[in-house]
Amino acid sequence: MPDKFAPSAKPSWALTCWVDDRYVYIEVPTTMQHPFVEKFPIHEQGLSHALNFLRKRYELVPLGEKNYTAPPIRPSTVNGKPPVQTADQRDAALNVLRKLGIV
């Protein structure tokens, strides 16, 4: 095996999975001393449970992280364009909206 691997494309919610002759294993990282490892038998129902386990993990991911292949949006830009107003102008507008009771 090579000494260096290419950087991983796995998202933050990815789990480690492996298989042997009898089971599919899924390792879930924990804050305890040891990771949690769930095993599912290798047959149609066991594989269905394993895939459902992975799908439920994905459903817990915050919406902003689900499309992990898209480049992150820099806060200083919106749709690739720099903001039109300055931070002071935004604060002044927010104060006006507060005085009017809109915010």
pLDDT (0 to 100) of residue 40: 94
**How far is 98 from 92, CA to CA, in rounded Å?**
10
- Which own/partner pairs from 65-71 qualify as long-range (CB within 8 Å, at least 24 positions apart)? 65/11, 65/12, 65/13, 68/11, 68/12, 69/9
**How far is 58 from 48, CA to CA, in rounded Å?**
15
| The amino acid at 9 | A
Please, what are the averages of pLDDT over each run of 10 residues along the chain (103 residues)? 70 88 92 90 93 89 74 62 81 91 83
pLDDT (0 to 100) of residue 62: 79
Helix H or strand E encompassing 54: helix 44-59
pLDDT (0 to 100) of residue 9: 76
User: Is the overall model pTM greater than 0.75, yes or no?
Assistant: no
